Chain A
């Protein structure tokens, strides 16, 4: 951490540096806030510190958390996806409809995820080939896909009570006391967090998002990177969609409206930058956990539903402002 360094090269400060780096990480700040909130809430409500409450909180954000993973990777490459709410619904509706037509539920789910991936591929092509921004391409996809969902279902919810129990198990079952959806989410989060930190392929995502031109001038095929990350985000979103279907045993054409805002907020609170190049899955998971924790706390405290959105908005504002101010101070040293 020495400010003036020897001309001999870069100085090394191992142990204290690593500790300080850990303390300075965005994730640590979030973790502290979450812990503080837990402490406060355990005094405020007798129901808070119960297994069933925590189980409910985890359940509430796990499936949406899968979407947050995809969104975070996309934000890192410098993209954005407003269509996730619609795409979740599309995967659900396509899988549900096929199931009702007699297709095997697993196969139908694969088709649902495939449909979601196809939407991602279409958006990716418009971004990479035509040169549209992610904002515009996904805004269009959001509206079109929602329309498609309404068309497929003719506007009425599909009732899927006849789903076989082994399929419902994915959404409703538990393994060793832990809900399967939570397990799926945790595994995905760990895998993607690791890949983003360590994999060489995923590193190109950071390069591209940090400075697309410089990445191109480093021999990275940036357009390909952007395309595949867009597809990845939609695919994970589709996966979340079919898990939702397994959980609720139905497919509603209005499902997921407004989900994109929650998902983007969680990723951004977790440290992802809308300018690209920054973000981590661990941070995003904490972000989504914080938002869910706040929601459930507010419910326990019997705060008006109308207040809840406001408070979430303020949290987003505070987190991002804090980050922005810290960054600014760091640069003008």
Chain B
């Protein structure tokens, strides 16, 4: 019997960036196949090609042994491919039933029969979860929204189910529930592709694992015959310790930033001290309140707090006050919050403190260009001209523009939210080196990262959050993925209560 799905030597570029160089993959019926690789390894791009969202530049796709071109998600559906996206792709204002049968509705003629729709939805949902088909999707928890996505895929007679990091936003119990369902689907003969960073999950639930690195296929291993260490080594391709700059050699200095009692809608009474010459990592699951904490401290989010900067109490009601004190927040969302994608690089760089390149109320464009060039050179920014917009750059170089913006104000304390998300491996280690250099110059660096190896490799100390509270702090000797996950999932709190 031919494999359910086969990818042979797929390549894909976005402009100058080669996202996939040479990717192959095979999925059998009745297996849970993990797809592992660092961020930017090409997992999501590959799956988007399978789902017809993207078209490959080269290579072939076979479904049931037959060569296919998948030109759209609709064609993917017809071939039995169901995709549960990392960012949930449902309509939040519409009912669960209508979401599940969205594509059927799109081709339906005449009037809608909502009662029948809800009945059918109830039948599909019965084996998955206890969700009211009439409820709007936006009112459901993230985990239930994911289950609705799975239900949607099942109604389309999916034989191939792609789960793109489905557990990244789930609690431990929700994760278990999800996998019980996934195992049941495997017994029905579905082939399931599970994209995940979490070794524990892969080794507990999957049958095989394929590893990608830098857009290339590395290996495919049978789970019973391999170890997490082997998988991680394949993902990284070298010893992890070489990837990251050396840690702080000196003991951390005096407190640079002391924050006490940060409270807002999603944070309760968080206190934090950042010392001179250290990189502080903030760990936790998505939704734990890491970004919110950084934003609250920088005045980008309303909160009650007391802040001391180098021993002096300071009042930070909004971000311009933070900027004046030399505190900068670099957003995780470059497109949405971080950059002016269609404006010149030079104008992006100058935007945090325009007064630096302003004379008599007018922008001195020569000074503005010179500033961008100086900082661009320092960060090894690969860009055409300072007048080009960041939209023409790769993710790594866009992030360098964001860093140039940050450096333009000579900051004292910087908060970097997912500083290497969507950044290729080369630029990533450059960014790490820059952060360490800053830290050695006496700048306080706080890094938020969902990528545990990065958090461990970069930080001198890690503080972990869970549901808006600090659940623990890890020194250099205590940093392990297990320890962070343990604190991030709030397990020790449940343990204490028992």
Contact = CB atoms under 8 A, between A and B. Distances in A.
Interface stretch (A8-16, A114-122, A146-154, A281-289): A8-16
Contacts of B380: 7, 9
A12 B365 CA distance: 15
A330 B323 CA distance: 34
Given A9-B381, A10-B381, A213 B337 contact: yes
Contact of B323 (A1, A4, A8, A219): A219
A331 B335 CA distance: 14
B340 A199 contact: no
A221 to B, nearest CB: 7
Interface in B320-377: 320, 322-323, 329, 331, 336-343, 345, 347, 351-352, 354-355, 358, 361-363, 365, 372-373, 376-377
B118 to A, nearest CB: 34
A190 to B, nearest CB: 15
Contacts of B373: 9-10, 12
A17 B382 CA distance: 18
A172 B373 CA distance: 52
A330 B391 CA distance: 10
A189 B36 CA distance: 58
Interface string B385-410: 11100011000000000000100000
Contacts of A213: 336-337
Given A207-B351, A217-B329, A219-B352, A333 B15 contact: yes
Contacts of B338: 214, 217
A185 B345 CA distance: 33
A60 interface: no
Nearest to B374: A9
A216 B331 CA distance: 12
B386 A201 contact: no
B101 interface: no
B362 A200 contact: yes
A211 B340 contact: yes
Contacts of A200: 354-355, 358, 361-363
A3 interface: yes
A201 B337 CA distance: 21
B337 A332 contact: no
Nearest to A219: B320
B319 interface: yes
Contacts of A7: 380, 382
A48 interface: no
Contacts of B361: 199-201
Given A11-B385, A199-B361, A207-B351, A217 B340 contact: no
B384 interface: yes
B434 interface: no
B199 interface: no
A55 interface: no
A11 B363 contact: no
B391 A218 contact: no
Interface string A318-333: 0000000000001111
Interface residues of A, number: 39
B300 interface: yes
Interface in A6-45: 7-13, 17, 21
A10 B354 contact: no
A246 B430 CA distance: 65
Nearest to A221: B320
Contact of B340 (A198, A219, A277): A277
A9 B385 CA distance: 9
B319 A9 contact: no
Contacts of A296: none
B264 interface: no
A262 interface: no
Nearest to A331: B391
Contact of A10 (B15, B322, B323, B384): B384
Given A10-B372, A10-B373, A200-B361, A5 B339 contact: no
B383 interface: yes
A207 B381 contact: no
A21 B387 contact: yes
Given A1-B384, A5-B384, A206-B343, A214 B337 contact: yes
29 contacts: A1-B384, A3-B16, A7-B382, A9-B377, A9-B381, A10-B372, A10-B373, A10-B385, A11-B384, A200-B354, A200-B355, A200-B358, A200-B362, A200-B363, A203-B363, A207-B343, A211-B336, A213-B337, A214-B331, A216-B319, A217-B300, A218-B352, A219-B322, A220-B320, A220-B351, A277-B342, A277-B343, A331-B392, A333-B392
Interface of B: 15-16, 300, 318-320, 322-323, 329, 331, 336-343, 345, 347, 351-352, 354-355, 358, 361-363, 365, 372-373, 376-377, 380-387, 391-392, 405
Given A206-B340, A214-B337, A215-B340, 18 more contacts: A1-B385, A3-B384, A5-B382, A5-B384, A8-B377, A10-B345, A10-B377, A12-B373, A199-B362, A200-B361, A200-B363, A211-B336, A214-B336, A216-B300, A217-B329, A217-B337, A218-B405, A331-B391
Q: Which 4 A-B pairs give the minimum distances between C-beta atoms?
A: A9-B377, A219-B320, A210-B340, A200-B358
